[in-house]
Amino acid sequence: MKKLINHPDAVVDEMVEGYVAAYPQYVAVLPTNKRALIGTHERTQGKVGVVIGGGSGHEPAFMGLIGKGMADGVPVGNIFASPPPHPIVEVTKAIHSGAGVIYMYGNYAGDCMNFDMAAELADLEEGIRVETVLVTDDIASASENEMHRRRGIAGGFLVFKTAGAAAERGYALDEVVRVTRKANDRLRTMGVALAPCRIPQTGQPSFTLEEGEMEIGLGIHGEPGIQRGLIATADETADILLDAIIQELRLVQGDRVVVLVNGLGSTTRMELLITYRRVDTRLKALEVEIARSYVGEYVTSLEMGGCSLSIMKLDDELEDLIQDAADTPMFVQMR
């Protein structure tokens, strides 16, 4: 395992220290908890607070997305592990501006438990109303009639973007929750893995794939996928991902979408763009309109090889929110 680290047990703390040092104009760590990060941007009184989080190793998610128009705060977990309740509560209290707080994270047991506990504590201790929207975009993780069992993967970025913009516009908490749920409901992701990552503390690969193999639907922590086979071309791979998404979203002529081709870690932008090319060609042939595209690393799994494709079916409200400006250390968008 070749990594630029100092000690496997120190990677998350040192990453956070490096992050706060690199972007003091955006983020600060709370004096009470070194895993509790908040944005230094102005939070208008009465703005809904936006908290996202989860394990480390998915950078730029989650901590890279703190800033105006995205998240107000992020509790930081260990690698691929939920943060405990304490930093979540600390972040919640610090960013609350009187209008309640929305929590968003991928649908994993550990995250659900810890964030739920934090929400209770925030209510109990300071009367802060917290609502939660789980990200459940991963098609491969459960069948369509068990949506509540689906995991959250890269599409979460678009859910966070929607909520961040709605909060910034001054939506009340119930309205932020409504539009964020809608964003998640109209979003699907499917991924393909080409190579594992290695967790610093174990040095072991997160899964094994033979030299010529790829696996469809493999989760961002190495959860098993749905189909393993010989590595296909970029076009064939894009088709597999896209076919599943088109079918579930029932995409038809005239629909408008946002497309995200997300790199899992070591896959080059060249490959992501080649993959995007096929998605674009296919959607144009269907006369589905692409309102905006994102191609790059948004939710990674350390240096895993592969990518995921996310598509959100837009309505006017979602499209408007997705196009809003955002200003964070690892994602900036001008309107």
**Which of 298, 305, 310, 311 is in the footprint of a second copy by CB under 8 A?**
305
Query: Looking up tokens 């990453």, which residue turns up?
Result: 15
Choices 81-89, 139-147, 210-218, 308-316; region in contact with a second copy by CB under 8 A:
210-218
Whose Cβ is closer to a second copy: residue 116's or residue 213's?
213
Is residue 104 near a second copy by the rule CB under 8 A? no
Dihedral Cα 265, 267, 270, 276, nearest 10 deg: -80
Q: Give the angle 237-243-246 at the CA atoms, nearest 5°.
A: 135
Q: State the DSSP string of 179-195.
A: HHHHHHHTEEEEEEEEE
Whose Cβ is closer to a second copy: residue 181's or residue 292's?
292
Whose Cβ is closer to a second copy: residue 34's or residue 277's?
277
CB of 280 to a second copy, least distance (A): 4
Choices 108-116, 173-181, 227-235, 247-255; region in contact with a second copy by CB under 8 A:
227-235
Whose Cβ is closer to a second copy: residue 60's or residue 110's?
60
CB of 65 to a second copy, least distance (A): 12
CA distance 304 to 267: 8
CA distance 278 to 293: 13
Q: Give the angle 106-220-104 at the CA atoms, nearest 5°.
A: 15
CA distance 171 to 174: 8
Is residue 214 near a second copy by the rule CB under 8 A? yes
Query: Looking up tokens 């994602």, which residue turns up?
Result: 331
C-beta separation of 84 from 36 below 8 A: no
CA distance 142 to 126: 37
Site string for a second copy, 313-332 (x = CB under 8 A): ------------x-x--x-x
Q: Which residues bind a second copy (CB under 8 A)?
A: 2-7, 11-12, 14-15, 17-19, 21-23, 56-57, 59-60, 64, 192, 194-195, 211-212, 214, 231, 233-235, 237, 259, 261, 265-277, 280-281, 293, 295-297, 300, 302-303, 305-307, 325, 327, 330, 332-334
